[in-house]
Amino acid sequence: MWRRIPASALFLAPVYPSTTQAQWRMPSANEAFGEPPGPRYERPSPDPRLQPPVAGNSIRDGGARPQIEPQAPAVVAFPHDYPAASIVIDTSGRMLYYVLGNNQAYAYPISVGREGFNWTGTETIGRKQAWPDWHPPEEMRQRDPKLPEKLTGGLRNPLGAMALYLGTTLYRIHGTNDAESIGQAQSSGCFRMMNPAVVHLASMAEVGTTVTVVQALPKSVEVSQSLQTTRETQPATATPRNSGVPVPANDYRHLRDYALRRR
């Protein structure tokens, strides 16, 4: 005989599954209804040129650091009112002068800032650093994501064998191996010299040396063409401070001539 069970008992009596019975779960939407029709949406890949450098590019080795021997440039007539042991940079002439006094100066061919990055004014050398590290600015790394956050000093580093930092600015007088750039306006405001030349300059220019950057000097500055005058006004060799190595005083005459031809 079947006995009627009250409806309330169905709600009060819990039912426990056996230990061998699989637990029930709510199916997912994909399981219940299948994949939605049509192609799946995929986020487009970002332009790699607009991405910041990857973590692996944070530090890169700048290469070897060989011994660079200083080489003195030509001595020129310098009839201008600047104190001895100071630096004068003529941006239009692409020349840097280290004033010797007695109306004479060492004349170094240089590369200067390109259009929009050239400047004039007076600074002092804040510090000197051999084989300096290079930290490309953020905006430069955004333009070229392959650049690292830091490139250690070495032959592959664009700052060369020596950098003379100008005050608290981002500008420097620094070395380079790129002879083709000398006499050109290519930098972002720094002044490039060949590595042996900047080592020679750094042997004389101490921290605190005044650096005056001008658009142009009067045209009276010319390299002396008289060997007799050169012998009477300077020794056959010039020995940079702290080097102890005599070097020819006119090794960079041909570079200056090259720079003048390119102007």
For strands 191-194 and 172-176, give the pairing: parallel
Q: Compute the 3-state secondary structure of the chain and give helix, strand, coil in percent, each to the nearest 5.
A: 20, 25, 55
Phi and psi angles of residue 160, each rounded to the nearest 5 degrees, phi first: 75, -160
pLDDT score at 188: 83
Residue 107 located in a structural domain = yes
Residue 119 located in a structural domain = yes
Place of tokens 């002044």: 191
Residue 50 located in a structural domain = no
Residue 12 located in a structural domain = no
Residue 37 located in a structural domain = no
How many structural domains compose the chain? 1
Residues of the chain with pLDDT under 50: 11-13, 15-16, 19-22, 24, 28-30, 32-33, 35, 38-56, 221-263
Residue 196 located in a structural domain = yes
Of residues 91, 108, 86, the one with CA closest to residue 199: 108
Domain harbouring 97, CATH code: 2.40.440.10
pLDDT score at 55: 42
Beta strands in the chain (DSSP E): 59-60, 74-77, 87-90, 95-101, 104-109, 112-113, 121-130, 150-151, 162-166, 172-176, 185-187, 191-194, 210-214, 237-238, 247-248
Q: By residue range, what is the domain housing residue 209?
A: 66-226+238-262
pLDDT score at 8: 54
pLDDT score at 221: 45
pLDDT score at 172: 95
Is the overall model pTM greater than 0.75, yes or no?
no
Residue 22 located in a structural domain = no
pLDDT score at 218: 80
| DSSP conformation letters of 116-174 | TT---EEEEEEEEEES--B---HHHHHH-TTS-SEE-SSTTSTTTTEEEEETTSS-EEE
CA distance 243 to 199: 10
pLDDT score at 249: 41
Of residues 129, 128, 121, 84, the one with CA closest to residue 211: 121
pLDDT score at 33: 45
- Contact partners, residue 91, CB within 8 Å, separation at least 6: 112, 113, 118, 120, 213, 214, 215, 216
What distances in angstroms separate CA 47 from CA 12, 50, 57, 142, 172, one per listed residue? Answer: 63, 6, 18, 12, 34
Residue 190 located in a structural domain = yes
